[in-house]
Structure 1
Amino acid sequence: MKNKALGFTLMEVLIALAIVSIALTALIKAMGQNITTMNRVKEKNISHWVAMQGIAMVQLGLLQISPNQETTQDTLMLGEHWYWRAQLGTTPQKGFQRITILVSANKNGPFNEALVGFKYSGTKYEQS
């Protein structure tokens, strides 16, 4: 009667542990990248909302800006302070002004996120 040992050899256990450790390392790296991407998407969405709010304020006349000048404002959005700069510029179309809003999470910048809108500053359209 032969006595046969049951179970895994030390080499088999070490190879299995190496495979599991490589797989877990890849999983942790992928999760870290997903978290970074998710934070960036959140930042871009909020900065877009801040820029849209800034354009609406200029279009409605709640914020007065002189042409070719810049003003910096701050907004509290979702519990965070956001800083934005508004600029008015000219367009080739008579009566329209270009509104450029630059947004940053920091007061001193960088103001990377930009949104452009337009404002009609001419007289009301009258039909003849």
Structure 2
Amino acid sequence: MMQTNRGFTLIELLIAMAILAVAMGALLQSAAQNAFNMTNLRDRTIAQWVAANKLAELQTRKTWEDVGKRNGEMSMANSTWYWQTEVQRVNDDDLRRVEISVKKSPDDESSLYTLPGFLASPNVFVSEDSELQQ
């Protein structure tokens, strides 16, 4: 009576383990990429908030922002963020263009987020009947 062997041969086990190793490597690489993307997205979102806060601060000041570049820092989400504003003149004397760039580190070459906006002269206001006055 002949007995049949059941189970896997050594070569079949080695091939299965090689396939598993390749699959696990791809899975780990995907998980690492997702973690990086999530951190990057978090940083960009907070940089947007920092820029929006700085623009709101500039727009609500009672003094006119001087033309030129300014640097500063702001604390948000338990981190320090570094911003730079660049204020430029435009054709309208009652407006100035501002560009706010936000970085995670002052040594970073490129910014995480840049927000353009406009600043109105503090001498211009809206009256009760919604007409612009000077």
Once the two structures are overlaid, the 10-residue window that deviates more, 104-113 or 8-17, is: 104-113
TM-score when normalising by structure 1: 0.87
Shift of 1:111: 4.7
Matches within 5 A, 1:44-83: 44-61=44-61, 65-67=65-67, 69-83=68-82
Once the two structures are overlaid, the 10-residue window that deviates more, 72-81 or 114-123, is: 114-123
Partner of 2:124 in structure 1?
123
- RMSD of the alignment, in Å? 1.8
Shift of 1:110: 2.7
Q: 3-state DSSP class of the match of 1:92? A: coil
Instruction: Give 1:38's aligned amino acid.
Output: M
Instruction: Give 1:76's aligned amino acid.
Output: S
Q: 3-state DSSP class of the match of 1:8? A: coil
The answer for unaligned runs of 5 or more in structure 1 is none
Matches within 5 A, 1:1-128: 1-61=1-61, 65-67=65-67, 69-112=68-111, 113-121=113-121, 123-124=124-125, 125-126=132-133
TM-score when normalising by structure 2: 0.84
Shift of 1:73: 1.4
Distance across 1 between alignment mates of 2:72 and 2:114 = 14
Instruction: Give 1:123's aligned amino acid.
Output: V
Once the two structures are overlaid, the 10-residue window that deviates more, 14-23 or 92-101, is: 92-101
User: Quick check: 1:99–1:116 contact (8 Å CA) kept in 2?
Assistant: yes
Aligned residues: 125
The answer for unaligned runs of 5 or more in structure 2 is 126-131
Distance across 2 between alignment mates of 1:22 and 1:29 = 11
Identity of aligned residues (%): 27
